[in-house]
Amino acid sequence: MVKTKDMSTDTDRDKRKLIKRNIVIAVLVILFFTGIIIVYYRMLYNEKRNNIVKTGEITAKESADQIERYLTTNIDSVKLAAYTLDEMINEERTDEEIQDYLVGESTAVRNAVIENSTGLYGYINGRFFSGTNWEPPKDYDATERPWYKRPMENPGEITILDPYIDVQSGNMMLALGKTLCDGVSVISVDVSLDRIQNLTEQAVKNGNSDIEMILNDDGMVVAHSDIGEVFKNYHDEKGTLGSEILSRLNKENDYFEFIFNGANYIVYVADIQNEWFCISVKDATSVFGSLNSIMFVTITVVIAIMLIISIIMTRSNRYLHMSMKAIAASDAKSDFLSKMSHEIRTPINAILGMNEMILRESGEPAIREYSENVKTAGRHLLGLVDEMLDYSETGAEKSDLAETEGADEDSSLYIRKRATADYKYHERFTAPDARVLVVDDNPMNIMVFKSLIKQTGVMLDTAHSGDECVKLTEKNRYDMIFLDHMMPEKDGIETLHGIKESPSNKNVSTPVVCLTANAISGVREKYISEGFSDYLAKPVDPIMLEEIMLKYISEDKVTVCGTGDDNPEEHINLPEAIAMINTDIIDTKKGLKNSGSAESYLALLKVFYESIDEKSLELNSFYENKDYKNYTIKVHALKSSARIIGADDFGEEAQRLEDAGKEENIAYIQSHHDVFINRYDSFKKSLEEVFSGFDSDYDKPEADTDLMESVFEEIRAAAEDMDCEMLDSIFAEMGDYRIPAESKELFDKLKDASDKYEYKTIIRLLNG
């Protein structure tokens, strides 16, 4: 009887210990699952929010850019009129002459710039003038009108007035005004808001935002995807969505998130000139509502798993109780623990496996940090289970698990290293086994591209036309192709189709990235739909170029070899004369950044400088022959060249001419061509001082006669084979020598022809 009583006491004690262990394990598992739920929810929430913010950023900035361009075009019209009228006032021209000018200019403005404009008008020489010959009522006092008073408050500046509805036409309009040289005269023009209104409505139709609006700095709605909101002033409202958005506007933050009337809104803001704001609003209620549903389902699954575990534990307890009566307590305990180890380890290992996928696939640093914490807690939980369950008969299984975990750790370490490399796209890397083709009809763009990827060591082929590109892709297999969109004869899209639609082409599946200077709304979708893998805006940003190369070049061909922390501006060693260039004309710092190095920038400036006469003649020829298609293509190329060297203002003028060419707005081209050419020619004088007498080869050894003869023969052979790589290599090697005076003219002509890929010209010069 005593022995039976002692056995019963031991059994009760074991049962109590077992219950305590079960409770501890259950609590740990619950905590572990709770951590998993939080990590997944935060990961999904941040991913959804970031996607919405990115879409809002793209939409708002694209709308803002188009509105900026539209306003700039109209502002330029007012500036031009003001400039002419200032001259007429100084020359004391008659009222009749001023009236005739305004009538003619109003017609030009309506035809070329503002279709719905009511024409130029103003208060000049003490009287009112109208470019449409409108006669005001007798009691009309121009000096009391807002279009006169507001510009007088800001002399010399373009003033944009609040929007209004034109009584005669019913169109939404706003007025632009500027004071003239005498200090009492004002010229003004009315601008239609229809195009701006259409932009906001289209953004919503495209699904890029739920609400799109333009506000001025006073809180007035200039345009809105809901036209009924136009002209409202949100400063005067309380408790509306518009007033709530206005109250949260902060010039230091591009986007913000808030809850209004139970709905979750994410707002992105882009600035427009004259202190306007382009605002994209996304109602994220349904998006985040689905996340809440996912969280609810996840919690339900966790509860279900816990119920299953509880049932297993209960049955195991019964099994233990029955076993203890029949066999020795130690055997029953061993059986129980063996079974429990399997039942508890199975869901924990599954969760650790899912968590490993987060580590591999998530690009969010915060999410990766949470996930690492979950991994650490999970491994700690497994350790506790090992200690508490301590089953001796599964030692071999524990050994196998340890080996697996070791392999997991090695795999995870590799993934973290790879992910770290992925985050740092600006790291310098090499890819000497990779072969890349770049296609562009503009030699300056080719030069820039070579400079920017020089440090990667990739094998680079170049082509300057679509046909040449197709021939090279039929001959060679490339890891990537960079293809310019706007080229004469066969453009980038036609060239891409020629590659993809030819079964025998070696690059049917090669990633092709479109190079374009027109990064406008919807452009990425357009290029993707045409078959491009991605696109890259020009001027090419070095960081974006490295990022896109790392994205598409096979990982086994890339070696990350250090961060690109060097700042090119710290190593500038340009001629002193370059400091004399007017930075309002050419931003040399921006040009240096675009070209990648001081040497490359000098080379680009020189190409730009030396091609001014040739390009001017070319543009004039197309203009005089009314060949506006090729005129537009050449202006497009010149725009790209100007932006590369840092001549952004001139690049914008080229952009406007290009847009006019695409829209077949011949009147605009005719009224701006001469001014544009004169501005282009003026660069020659600005750059002349930089390159006159500048000899960058003064400290190099002079090439002797034998070397030059050998070089000329190598150039001839490369030209006959149309081998641009060999030509580049020859001229690069000769960069270490000073070319003798008797050979320099021929050598420079050969290099110029090589840069333009004019192989026949090279052969003709050598046969000379």
- Residue 111 tokens read as 């035809």
| pLDDT digits 0-9 by tens, 631-652 | 888 888 888 788 888 888 888 8
In this structure, are residues 658 and 673 in contact, taking their beta carbons and an 8 Å threshold? no
Tell which residue, 119, 246, 117, has the closest CA to residue 193: 117
pLDDT of 170 strictly over 50: yes
| pLDDT digits 0-9 by tens, 275-286 | 788 889 988 887
Mean pLDDT for 463-480 is 93
- Residue 52 tokens read as 């919405």
CATH of domain 576-691: 1.20.120
Residue 123's φ and ψ, nearest 5 degrees, are: -115, 110
Distance (Å, whole) CA 113 – CA 696: 47
How are strands ordered across the β-sheet holding 255-260? 221-224, 211-215, 276-283, 263-272, 255-260
In this structure, are residues 616 and 562 in contact, taking their beta carbons and an 8 Å threshold? no
Tell which residue, 81, 127, 125, 117, has the closest CA to residue 101: 81
Distance (Å, whole) CA 149 – CA 157: 13
Q: What is the structure's pLDDT at 448?
A: 77
Percent of the chain whose pLDDT exceeds 90: 14
Task: Rounding to the nearest 10 degrees, give the CA dihedral for residues 650, 654, 655, 661.
Answer: 170
Q: What is the structure's pLDDT at 710?
A: 83
- Residue 438 tokens read as 């770049």
Residue corresponding to tokens 């004039």? 620
pLDDT of 168 strictly over 70: no
Total residues belonging to the chain:
768
Q: Give the containing element (helix H, strand E) for 62.
A: helix 2-90
pLDDT of 328 strictly over 90: no
Mean pLDDT for 676-688 is 84
pLDDT of 45 strictly over 70: yes
| pLDDT digits 0-9 by tens, 483-496 | 998 888 888 999 99
Mean pLDDT for 623-634 is 89
Which of 96-100, 510-514, 645-649 bottoms out in mean pLDDT, i.e. has the lowest?
645-649
Distance (Å, whole) CA 102 – CA 108: 10
Tell which residue, 552, 540, 547, 545, has the closest CA to residue 516: 540
* Mean per-residue pLDDT of the chain: 77
Cis peptide before 539 (omega within 30 of 0): yes
Structure-model confidence comparison of residues 545 and 379, the more confident one: 545
Q: Give the containing element (helix H, strand E) for 189.
A: strand 186-192
Residue 169 three-state SS: coil
Task: Rounding to the nearest 10 degrees, give the CA dihedral for residues 714, 715, 720, 722.
Answer: 120
Return the amino acid letter for 269.
V
pLDDT of 114 strictly over 70: no
Q: Which residues pair with 35 in a beta bridge?
A: none
Helices (H), 362-486: 365-389, 395-423, 443-452, 466-475
Distance (Å, whole) CA 423 – CA 620: 49
Which of 316-330, 366-380, 446-460 bottoms out in mean pLDDT, i.e. has the lowest?
316-330
Q: Which residues pair with 559 in a beta bridge?
A: 430
Q: What is the structure's pLDDT at 511?
A: 95
Distance (Å, whole) CA 446 – CA 475: 21
pLDDT of 397 strictly over 60: no
Distance (Å, whole) CA 287 – CA 284: 5
Q: How confident is the model at residue 253 (pLDDT cuts 50, 70, 90)?
A: confident
In this structure, are residues 445 and 594 in contact, taking their beta carbons and an 8 Å threshold? no
In this structure, are residues 212 and 521 in contact, taking their beta carbons and an 8 Å threshold? no
**What are all long-range contacts of 405-409, with beta carbons under 8 Å and residues at least 24 apart?**
405/379, 408/356
Distance (Å, whole) CA 452 – CA 564: 12
Q: What is the structure's pLDDT at 659?
A: 87
- Residue 409 tokens read as 């750790």
Q: What is the structure's pLDDT at 573?
A: 47
Q: What is the structure's pLDDT at 289?
A: 72
Tell which residue, 550, 543, 545, 544, has the closest CA to residue 422: 550
Q: What is the structure's pLDDT at 67?
A: 80
Tell which residue, 691, 725, 671, 154, has the closest CA to residue 460: 725
| pLDDT digits 0-9 by tens, 121-157 | 999 999 999 988 888 888 889 899 888 998 998 888 8
Q: What is the structure's pLDDT at 424?
A: 40
pLDDT of 425 strictly over 50: no
Residue 12's φ and ψ, nearest 5 degrees, are: -60, -40
Q: Which residues pair with 123 in a beta bridge?
A: 128, 186
Q: How confident is the model at residue 726 (pLDDT cuts 50, 70, 90)?
A: confident
Q: How confident is the model at residue 510 (pLDDT cuts 50, 70, 90)?
A: very high
Fold of 93-192: Beta-Lactamase (3.30.450)
What is the helix, strand, coil percentage profile of the chain, to 5? 65, 15, 25
Structure-model confidence comparison of residues 565 and 498, the more confident one: 498
- Residue 189 tokens read as 């023009």
Mean pLDDT for 17-39 is 72
Percent of the chain whose pLDDT exceeds 70: 71
- Residue 491 tokens read as 């453009």
Q: How confident is the model at residue 180 (pLDDT cuts 50, 70, 90)?
A: very high
Helices (H), 697-740: 705-720, 724-734
- Report the alpha-carbon angle 684-688-692, nearest 5: 150
Q: What is the structure's pLDDT at 262?
A: 85
- Report whether CATH 3.40.50.2300 matches the domain 427-565: yes
Q: What is the structure's pLDDT at 754?
A: 87
Which of 236-250, 259-273, 348-362, 543-557 bottoms out in mean pLDDT, i.e. has the lowest?
348-362
pLDDT of 396 strictly over 50: no
Helices (H), 596-665: 598-610, 612-624, 628-645, 648-662
Domain boundaries, the chain: 93-192, 427-565, 576-691, 705-767
